[in-house]
Structure formats: C-alpha cells, structure tokens
Amino acid sequence: MGLLILYLFIAIGISFLCSILEAVLLSTPESYIEILMTEKRGGAENLKKLKNAIDRPLSAILSINTIAHTIGAAGVGAQATKVFGEVYFGLVSAVLTLLILVLSEIIPKTIGATYWRSLALLSVPVIKVFMYVAYPFVVLSERITRIIAKRGQAYTFSRQDLSTMASIGYKEGVIGKDESYFIYNLMKLRDVSVEDIMTPRTVMVSVPESITTSEFFKQIDELYFSRIPVYQGNKENITGYVLKGDILERVAKDQHDVKIESLKREITKVYERIPVPRVFQLMMKKNDLIALVIDEYGGTEGIVTMEDIIETLTGIEIVDEKDTHVDYQKLAREIWKKRLNENRNRIIDD
C-alpha cells in the first residue's frame, strides 16, 4: 500500500509542480520581467535568461513531467493489481486518469496562469534544479529545436500586438479609453499619409500677396485662421503665409497700406504621399506649424498644420481660447460653399 501511495504521489504530485512551472513560465510576459529588472528584484535576471531561451526550461519541465506520469502510472497500475487484484485494474486506471487530468493538469495550470505575478520569481530556482536534473534531455531537445528553427522564422513582437495590448488594457481597466485610443492611433499613424489629413486646395482659404492690410479685411470677413497662405498670380502658386497677428498689429498702428508680401513668411513644402510621422518630424525640426502639401509635379494640393497632425493622433479637436470654431477643415469647406453660392447668384443676376 505504501508503494501505491508513493507511485501516486510521483504521478500526481511531481506533475502538479511541473504544470504550475510551465504555466507560470509561459504566462509571464517579457514586459513584466523588464519591470522586475528595473526594480532590481532578485532573480529577475535569471528569469529573463529562462524566458529568452524558453526551449531549455520547457524541455526540462516536460521531460520530468512525462517521466513522472510514465513511472507513476505504471507503478500505480502494478501495485493496484497486487493490492486489489486484476479485476479492479480497469477501475484504478480510470480513476488515475481522472486524477491526473484534474490534479496535475487543469488545477495547477489554472493556478500558474492566474497567479504568475506572485509565482514568477519563486519558480526560477525550482526550474534551474529541473534543468540540472534533466540536462541530457535538455541538450537533446535543444539540438532538435535548432534543426526546426532553421526551417522556420521565430515570432517577433509586432505593432499589431501593441495595439491589441492597449485594447486589452482598456478592457481590464489598466489604462483609460483615451490612452488606449492614443496608442492605437500612434501605431496606425505611419500608414496615414499627409494627403489624408490635409485641408484640400479647393477649400483652402488664401489671399494674394499683392493686397494691402486694409484690402485684406475686404476679402476675409472674419479671421478664423491664425495662418493664411498667400499666393502670387493664382491660388496654385502659394509663395508663403502670413500670421493673423502680424496683420492686426499693422492695422492697430494705422499701417493700412502695408503689402501682405512684406509680412509673408516662408512655408515648408511636403509631398502629399509622405507619412504623417515624417511630416511631424520635419515641422518640429523647422519649428513650423503649417506646411504646403504638393503633388509629384510641384502643384499645390492643400495645407497641413500641426493641429491636424495632433488631432489625428489624439482624435481631439484642438481649440484655443480665441477660437470660435472647432473643426477648421469643415469651416473651410463651408466658406468655399458659401463663396460658390455667391458666385452662382451673381451669374444669375447678370
């Protein structure tokens, strides 16, 4: 009877421990290990080594688990036959199978997958002992793994994984909705070109550089925009931009005859197919808040502002204390439609 209990312990007890170690090792993410290393927790470095070469500890754990199952099941079967007789061999096998399934697979793996944070560092010394005991099996498994690894490509962490983690983090209450949305947009930003977020030329508000500050107010009823593109000859020939503040400053000083051209500033030009992150870096480097979007032939396609980029990233319209409208791309289209209707009415009247 004593041998029966011993073999039962080997079949279930050792396997129980192996299953917990396996679940903990597979459930512990590398991000958590990096946190432990930042906090300089004891065993974090060894845990990282085990995770980086995960085939070695897994080989040791699975080898010992298989040996325990095999020896334990065979021993229990043999001892049960001696103690209870061959007539109960089938019943003993069925009960043992159920016990192994529940006590050495389902329960321990559930524990390991649920409490991996608490068990991660505690499992390190035990796994190292297992690797020492099962060293021949580890070496054999490592050689087989190398052969397989040559034929396939190891999985690497992707941008989609990070987006998914942000979504999961929001659902689990780890991060807020806005934070999750921000991370998702950040990962998608490189796939967005500047033409997707620009204000098109057809609805772009611009003024000729030849007019004066007083004439400026006759063309622009309300100063919705802080930076207004200026052109020479026609609206496709954008030569720069002017600041609303510069114009108001001249008007306040009764300098009504100052040409807009004299207030003009250089405008950065960007190709319409350039990804938004590259445009952002360029505008930051030049300390620009507005850029002219051009096509492959140098023709004007529209304008893009720093606000457009940040709003694309955050999904929130940026409005300062002097803004009377929220969506200025929408406003530009409304102004364009208004002018189009006015021109149509003039044609009808004529």
Calpha distance 203→317 (Å, rounded): 19
Domains of the chain with CATH codes: 2-151 (no CATH), 160-190 (no CATH), 194-349 (3.10.580.10)
The pTM for the full model equals: 0.55
Side-chain-side CA neighbours of residue 302 (13 Å): 17
| Closest C-alpha to 195, from 296, 84, 275 | 275
Confidence of residue 334 (pLDDT cuts 50, 70, 90): low
pLDDT of 287-329, one tens digit each?
Answer: 889 999 999 888 999 999 998 888 888 765 544 444 444 444 5
Least confident of 41-50, 54-63, 71-80: 71-80
User: What pLDDT, on a 0 to 100 scale, did the predictor assign at position 2?
Assistant: 67
- Is the CB of residue 258 less than 8 Å from the CB of residue 211? no
Name which residue leads in pLDDT, 73 or 179.
179
User: Which of 197, 190, 223, 231 shows the shortest CA–CA distance to 304?
Assistant: 197
State the sign of the Cα–Cα–Cα–Cα dihedral 339, 345, 349, 350: positive
Specify the pLDDT at position 171.
84
Task: Tell me which of 223 and 240 has the higher pLDDT.
Answer: 240
Strands 238-243 vs 227-231: parallel, antiparallel or unpaired:
antiparallel
Residue 231's SS3 state is strand
Q: Which residues pair with 199 in a beta bridge?
A: 303
The pLDDT value given to residue 206: 87
